Amino acid sequence: MSFHVYDTTLRDGAQQEGMNLSVTDKLAIAPLLDELGVGFIEGGWPGAVPKDTDFFARAATELTLKNSVLAAFGATRKVGLRASEDPQVLALLHSGAPVVTLVAKSDVRHAERALRTTAEENLAMITDTVAFLVGEGRRVVLDAEHFFDGYRFDAAYSRSAVLAAFEAGAEVVALCDTNGGMLPHWVTDIVGDVRAVVGPDAILGMHAHNDSGCAVANTLAAVDAGCSHVQGTINGYGERTGNADLITVVANLELKNGRTLLTGAGLTEASRIAHAISEITNISPYARQPYVGASAFAHKAGLHASAIKVDPDLYQHIDPRLVGNDMRMLISDMAGRATIELKGRELGFDLSGQGEVLTRITARVKEAEANGYTYDAADASFELLLIEEMMGERPQYFDVESWRTIVERHGHRGTVALAEATVKLEAGGERVVTTGEGNGPVNALDQALRLALTRIYPEIESFGLIDFKVRILDQMHGTDAVTRVLIETTDGQTSWSTVGVGPNILEASWEALTDSAIYGLIHAGVNPR
């Protein structure tokens, strides 16, 4: 029996709070899902959501899928209508999608209270709609909504809904934990019972939500109990606490259970594709996401580093390259010499055999962390520290004479405050004085520094600030507290992070900004002028 991987990011995932995918967004995400190699891409609900109707219309001419087929989502016919006369059922046909996924009630309470019909009519709605669509040449997947809760209330009725769908010609019946409250052993028992009733050849699926934190575990339990069709979303998107994270599900099944599920680029491109979809959805990637998160293979403790230096597999459950990720060493006050050596190797510095340098760098890191610095998320600042310790000093691209900022407001509350910064420095053998304006004093400083350096180093023009984080370290001191700033900068191709610490946000920001400029110039291959 073939195994189905069914993605519902564009429909169920898009119901996440704060996510609003345009048709263009969906048309950009679909090829990434196809490249990953999922079998089915659920595009939305044509006929009910105008944007989704437009998506299927445009997909017919703008999408060329190599590994996936599109599925249109909709509901069984309305109470009292024939399927062939129901406008929304007809809209599913008109979408042109080769697969139609129908949501149907499988909990008798929902049939009677939500649909306000009889248990018998609900079963007839399933039978009629599935049979009509199959007769029109469509492959039909039935999502048995609230199946597990319904089964625990009235198992016989929930089973009858599944049997009705199969008897009418459905290719798959997906059992849905719509409220997300199941636990794995419940799923195992229920799916096992349904498998015994429908026989070995019927394709059962699992659609899990994560309200109990068990969506992935419940999906794996369902597969062990006889499901051969899994549904989920990239990055676990979805309403409330989300759906089963499809990449985690597939990675567990492929890498731990030895199955081959994806037909495209597969898991080796999973990290890149997950992050690319995060960019389109405008939802920041979750660093601790299994397999593809930035922290999934990040190691901080010195004890771990010592073992990893001998054999990386001692502290990693898989080779990160299998999912397109990479091992990272984090530098903090927990770091030992082994951590520093491995991190240096990661950044291109060979510290093996340099015991004195390692001891000096380790001591400097611990002292800096004690003063408020953190290098966990500031690799660029740590690399500059390495350069200073190994080369004696960092490249001197400029010498700062002075800087200042002014924030001025005219009139009463509600008027716009103006921020201005002046930077005086020496670079390229000349004294440069520039003034920048911005949205606040830090932005003004960034603009003034950029103006000053661009005259001598035009490469700076491609640099842009993309993230800015502020942390107050000793909060009991109030406005007199030490401040830590982390900034992320990009040149349009890569990005890097630097850290600054000072008695106020401006001094901390200035340190992070200047370090960012220096690091960017070094990696652009620019020599001091």
Do 93 and 209 fall within a single domain? yes
User: Is residue 242 a contact partner of residue 233, using CB atoms and an 8 Å limit?
Assistant: yes
Do 331 and 199 fall within a single domain? no
Give DSSP secondary structure letters for 150-166. Answer: HHHH-HHHHHHHHHHHH
**Is 451 within a domain?**
yes
Domain termination site, one of 250, 281, 312: 281
pLDDT of residue 275: 84
Task: List the CATH number of the domain containing 262.
Answer: 3.20.20.70
**pLDDT tens for residues 127-155?**
999 999 999 999 999 999 999 999 999 99
Rounded mean pLDDT of 490-509?
A: 91
Do 210 and 343 fall within a single domain? no
pLDDT of residue 84: 96
Do 256 and 317 fall within a single domain? no
Do 344 and 428 fall within a single domain? no
CA–centroid distance for 300 within its chain: 22
Q: Which of 7-16, 72-81, 311-320, 329-338 is least confident? A: 329-338
CA dist., res. 298 & res. 489, Å (int): 21
- Higher-confidence residue of 94 and 345: namely 94
User: Is residue 240 a contact partner of residue 274, using CB atoms and an 8 Å limit?
Assistant: no
Supply φ then ψ for residue 229, to 5 degrees.
-145, 120
Question: Residue 135: which domain range?
Answer: 4-281
Query: Average per-residue pLDDT in the chain?
Result: 90
pLDDT value at 301 more than 60: no
Do 275 and 333 fall within a single domain? no
pLDDT of residue 1: 65
pLDDT value at 299 more than 60: yes
User: How many independent structural domains does the chain possess?
Assistant: 3
Neighbours of 233 (CB within 10 A): 26
Do 65 and 185 fall within a single domain? yes
- Higher-confidence residue of 305 and 276: namely 276
Do 192 and 312 fall within a single domain? no
Task: List the CATH number of the domain containing 415.
Answer: 3.30.160
Do 256 and 303 fall within a single domain? no
**Is 252 within a domain?**
yes
**Is 461 within a domain?**
no
Alpha helices per DSSP H over 439-504: 441-454
| Residue 204: band (very low, low, confident or very high) from pLDDT cuts 50, 70, 90 | very high
Paired tokens of 331: 């530098």
Do 238 and 350 fall within a single domain? no
Do 95 and 234 fall within a single domain? yes
Domain termination site, one of 429, 456, 483: 456
pLDDT value at 247 more than 80: yes
Three-class secondary structure of residue 51 per DSSP:
helix
**Is 386 within a domain?**
no
| Residue 382: band (very low, low, confident or very high) from pLDDT cuts 50, 70, 90 | confident
Do 249 and 336 fall within a single domain? no
Paired tokens of 275: 């992050």
Q: Which of 83-97, 269-283, 357-371, 472-486 is least confident? A: 472-486
pLDDT of residue 360: 81
Amino acid at 94: H
pLDDT of residue 193: 97
